[in-house]
Amino acid sequence: MSIEALDPANPCEACAIRKESVCAALTRSGLGRLSAIVTRVGFAPEQVVFTEGQAVEQVFNVIEGVVRLTRLLPNGRRQVTGFIRPGSFLGLACGASYGHTAEAVTDLVLCRFRRDRLRAFLQEHPEMERRVLAKASGELWAAQSQMLLLGRKTAREKLTSFLLSWARSWRRPEPRANGSARAVELPMARSDIADHLGLTRETVSRILTSLVLDGTIDIPEPNLVVLRRLDRLEAFAEGDA
């Protein structure tokens, strides 16, 4: 199912997102040794990377694409606990088994490690381990923000908060700023957004249209949102409206 891409020499050194990833802490020689224990793998949209409950034998660093983390309730209801972007790690802060299912939203390129090997590597590279811990505490912070959102925000606050935080995490592509407007790609489906925010796809749709109607955003194509009025979005996100 997964496509192996064989990069010669020292692939990690050439890695596009190294600076934003946990690997940033490593020296050239460290990167060389890291290259020895890593495999690059690709996934097509909707492919499953790992499943909730599985034993954690592999961990992944996201190089390209977006990953969706989900948890299911017995009766089929779904919560998307997060969307993971390049530079983040999958599976490191898990215990013995994965706490959620990870699926590809877009085409995906991941670095795959055997967990025990990476653990051994980290023991010899405390500078990198420190960054792993920092990422983990960032994850916890994000999880708490999400609880606040899910428990105490209205539908419009949820959606505007989401748009803003997604826009902020979107560093790479062109900000395409024509008059303070910012184009943001939303590669995931409306139902993914809904399941992330504790809403239904219909509500997500309705609120997006209402934001278009009042000129706050534009949706030239379903997966592209132009944030026209950041000030107004921020006001909505804080509930001042």
- Binding interface with DNA (CB under 7 A): 154-156, 189-191, 198-206, 208-209, 219, 221-223
Among 150, 155, 224, 230, binds a copy of itself (CB under 8 A): 150
Binding mask 200-239 for a copy of itself (x = CB under 8 A): --------------------------------------xx
Residue closer to a copy of itself by CB (options 9, 96) is 96
When computed from its CA atoms, the radius of gyration of the chain, rounded to whole angstroms, is 19
Residue closer to a copy of itself by CB (options 14, 136) is 136
φ, ψ of residue 139 to 5 degrees: the values are -60, -40
Is residue 20 close enough to count as binding a copy of itself by CB under 8 A?
no
Per CB under 8 A, contacts with a copy of itself among 125-144 are 134, 136-141, 143-144
Per CB under 8 A, contacts with a copy of itself among 177-196 are 195-196
- Around Cβ 108, how many Cβ atoms within 10 Å? 25
Angle in degrees, 0-180, between the axes of helices 126-152 and 115-124, rounded to the nearest 10: 120
Helices (H), the chain: 28-37, 115-124, 126-152, 155-169, 190-197, 201-213, 230-238
Is residue 35 close enough to count as binding a copy of itself by CB under 8 A?
no
Beta bridge partners of 62: 110
Residue 173: name its binding partner from DNA, a copy of itself, none (Cβ under 5 to 8 Å by kind).
none
Residue closer to a copy of itself by CB (options 109, 157) is 157
Q: Side by side, which strands form the sheet with 38-43?
A: 3-4, 38-43, 108-114, 58-64, 89-90
Residue 29 in contact with residue 13, Cβ under 8 Å?
Answer: no
Q: How far apart are CA 130 and CA 38, in angstroms?
A: 20
What's the closest the beta carbon of residue 96 comes to DNA, in angstroms?
33
Per CB under 8 A, contacts with a copy of itself among 66-125 are 71, 73-75, 77-79, 81, 93-95, 99-100
The strand pair at 108-114 and 58-64 is best described as: antiparallel
Judging by beta carbons within 10 Å of its beta carbon (0-12, 13-18, 19+), is residue 19 exposed, middle or buried? exposed
Residue closer to a copy of itself by CB (options 12, 159) is 159
Interacting residues with a copy of itself (CB under 8 A) = 71, 73-75, 77-79, 81, 93-95, 99-100, 134, 136-141, 143-148, 150-153, 195-198, 238-240
